[in-house]
C-alpha cells in the first residue's frame, strides 16, 4: 500500500503513469535531483501524516518506502 502511494505521488510529480515506476528505480533514472527529492519527501509527509528526516541518503524508490514503513511502524 505504501509503495502504491509513493508511486502515485512520484507519478503525479513526474507526470508519468505510476504503473511504470518500479521499486528499484533510482531518483536519477526518474530524472529527479536533490531539490525534487525534498519536494517529494514533503508531499509524502503530508500523504502519510509523518515527518521524514532526510538523515540518510535516499537513492531509489525502495529506500523511500522502507523509510516510511519504519516511521509508520
Partner 1 sequence: MIVTEVNRLFGLKYPIIQGGMAWISDGKLAAAVSNAGGLGVISAINEGPEALRREIETCRSLLRDGRLPFAVNIMLMSPLAAAAADIVVEMKVPVVITGAGLPTPYMKKWLAASIQVVPVAPSTGVAKMAARLGACAVVAEGGESGGHVGDLTTMVLTPQVADAVSIPVIAAGGIADGRGVAAALLLGAAGVQCGTCFLPAKECGVHANYKRKILEAKDIDTIVTGKRLGHPVRSLKNAFSRQFADMEYDAAVSDRQIEAFGSGALRRAALDGDVQNGSVMAGQCAAMLHEEKTAEQIIADMFREAQDALSAADRFLSKEEPHA
Q: Which residues bind partner 1 (CB under 8 A)?
A: 28, 33-35, 38-39, 41-42, 51, 53-55
Pick 17 or 50: Cβ nearer partner 1: 50
Residue 33 designated active-site: yes
Q: How far apart are CA 37 and CA 52, in angstroms?
A: 12
**Cα–Cα separations (whole angstroms), residue 8 to 22, 26, 55, 56:** 11, 16, 24, 23
Annotated catalytic residue within 15, 33, 46, 53? 33
Of 1 and 35, CB closest to partner 1? 35
User: Which residues are catalytic, by number?
Assistant: 33
Amino acid at each position: 500500500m505504501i509503495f502504491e502511494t509513493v508511486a502515485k505521488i512520484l507519478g503525479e510529480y513526474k507526470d508519468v503513469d505510476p504503473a511504470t515506476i518500479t521499486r528499484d528505480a533510482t531518483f536519477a533514472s526518474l530524472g529527479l535531483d536533490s531539490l525534487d527529492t525534498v519536494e517529494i519527501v514533503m508531499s509524502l509527509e503530508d500523504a502519510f501524516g509523518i515527518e521524514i528526516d532526510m538523515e540518510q541518503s535516499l537513492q531509489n524508490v525502495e529506500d523511500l518506502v522502507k523509510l516510511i514503513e519504519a516511521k509508520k511502524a
